[in-house]
Chain A
């Protein structure tokens, strides 16, 4: 697909944030994913042109980072934490059950293209274990059943909203734009903190 003039202008504005333009490579890769869903050859060539880099240099960066995908993922990309703590608390059981439920393996996509699955590393929410992320939004304190319900709701096109995040779960492409630094105006939605985050403060104030 050809990028529109408007999209090219956004890329220029991303480059303009930095003192040296090569620094823009990561947000530009997120931006390409927001347009095409994954890092395409065309996206790599365009970034190379913009930053005056060889395509091999752009590819070298793109393939280093796991969030950049070399093939399409689902509209709703599900990450189940199987690092030690979440795995022990139930992440392994959730991951096994969801693979079976969706009949896909790690890095797989459902045939309808709606949901993809990946086991992920620690996502900095251990006090909410077991943790599941969809399009990198928090789904806290998950169980086998709650995660099955979550992926079913996503396949039906009406995903359960995140625990700590916007009121409505956005698609993979929409959230990729946020990671590229383009505001979607949803920062005020959702809680400021979940209960575990507030527990110490509550105890300090004499709460039970």
Chain B
């Protein structure tokens, strides 16, 4: 029996799943009526009781985040969706919004009602034009249907929803950088406290939630807390989207209860690329320490992955087989972090630059064994020393690859070059297209 539990993805195989008619046909926009008939605090309590945790990487309980918004403060409140999906390997929110933008909008209405916000934003990355079209149309159709605007569903609740399109900056996925960007500044993280719940957008109480978190709310309202908590593990409740990519026979999106293992997902999907074996993988994007074939049975929930020395992150399972040079992979990720460092904090701006220099030499078989210690020393000097977690993310693949594959770094030095043939790792190598 399959362990999969399609909820968010349940209607994606309908050709018109992204239209308001298609969404309504599969039961869409029934939760919003129920939620608006509840008191806002009851909605918050229900999301708290469900145990829903943020699906964007940090895993903070969504209902608690909503509960932090001060009430009766006579200030505007804002509800902001983080749709700036950019963490390397992460590819769940983008297909979700392409296939069903309305479930996100329904979640936005419910969340905004709960925290008493009358203005909401979806901050989407700018490099996905067709997804922008789909969300634009969905918002316009929701306005026409009386689901946005004044007096929604005749319940006296008003909500304006604006789609804000980014322009290619990974750092804007960090929630305070996102808010600076949305205010019209360079997207650079803010020092916290104050947290966005107290001083967020325009210094007003603000909730920032990931797409998948918000989109999970209508199903919780419709099916109840007991239904949701029956899935998952003790502290990681519910279902989630796992994104399988890389050297596998069948990459794709798999919606399953939290706590499923990579071994199970590989069995369901069709396994590692035929004729090859698993070498290393990320459990939740490039900012999460890598795992090896020793971690196939780690439960992929917040606690299980953490206990094994990494983080669940975005559940972006990037799979690499034995043809892949781990030093090359780590160098490329490090170049990414260097490029995307916003430059605000010196340890991150300078440190990621130096990490690239050292790794470039090592990948080319130059340098010395002492450089491996230099890498760790650099990581030690940037981790936890910046406003945001970008520098921590940059250190993760380096530290973990040295933990599991130190010898492979040394092999580059003894060979005087990279011992791997990059052509063997490509997907079209066997077809001879090169």
A/B interface sample: 23 pairs, CB < 8 A: A20-B183, A20-B202, A24-B184, A27-B164, A30-B126, A65-B166, A85-B245, A89-B427, A97-B434, A136-B129, A143-B431, A162-B130, A178-B132, A179-B167, A181-B136, A187-B133, A188-B19, A196-B251, A198-B9, A200-B252, A201-B6, A201-B12, A204-B2
A121-B130 contact, Cβ under 8 Å, with A26-B184, A88-B324, A181-B136 = no
Q: Chain B's nearest CB lies how many Å from the CB of A205? A: 8
A206 to B332, CA, bound (A): 38
Asked if B393 CB lies within 8 Å of chain A CBs, one says: no
A23 to B127, CA, bound (A): 19
Q: Which residues of B contact A (CB under 8 A)?
A: 2, 4-6, 9-10, 12-19, 76, 85-91, 93-95, 98-99, 119, 125-130, 132-134, 136-137, 140, 162-170, 181-187, 202, 242-247, 250-256, 268-269, 286, 316, 318, 320, 324, 328-329, 332-333, 336, 339-340, 342, 422-423, 425-428, 431, 433-434
B182 proximity list for chain A (CB < 8 A): 23
B9 proximity list for chain A (CB < 8 A): 197-198, 200-201
| Contact across chains for A26 and B17 when beta carbons are under 8 A apart | no
| Contact across chains for B167 and A66 when beta carbons are under 8 A apart | yes
| Contact across chains for A61 and B165 when beta carbons are under 8 A apart | no
Question: Taking each of B76, B99, B184, which has the highest tally of chain A beta carbons within 10 Å of its own beta carbon?
Answer: B184
Asked if A199 CB lies within 8 Å of chain B CBs, one says: yes
Asked if A10 CB lies within 8 Å of chain B CBs, one says: no
Nearest B-chain residue to A186, judged by Cβ: B133
A88-99: CB near B (< 8 Å → 1, else 0) gives 111011000100
| Contact across chains for B422 and A126 when beta carbons are under 8 A apart | no
| Contact across chains for A124 and B119 when beta carbons are under 8 A apart | no
Q: Which residues of A contact B (CB under 8 A)?
A: 17-20, 22-27, 29-30, 51, 60-61, 64-68, 79, 82-85, 87-90, 92-93, 97, 120-130, 133, 135-138, 143-145, 162, 164-166, 175, 178-181, 183-184, 186-188, 190-204, 206
| Contact across chains for A187 and B137 when beta carbons are under 8 A apart | yes
Count contacts between A and B, CB distance < 8 Å: 267
A192-B6 contact, Cβ under 8 Å, with A178-B129, A197-B95 = no
Q: Chain A's nearest CB lies how many Å from the CB of B358? A: 18
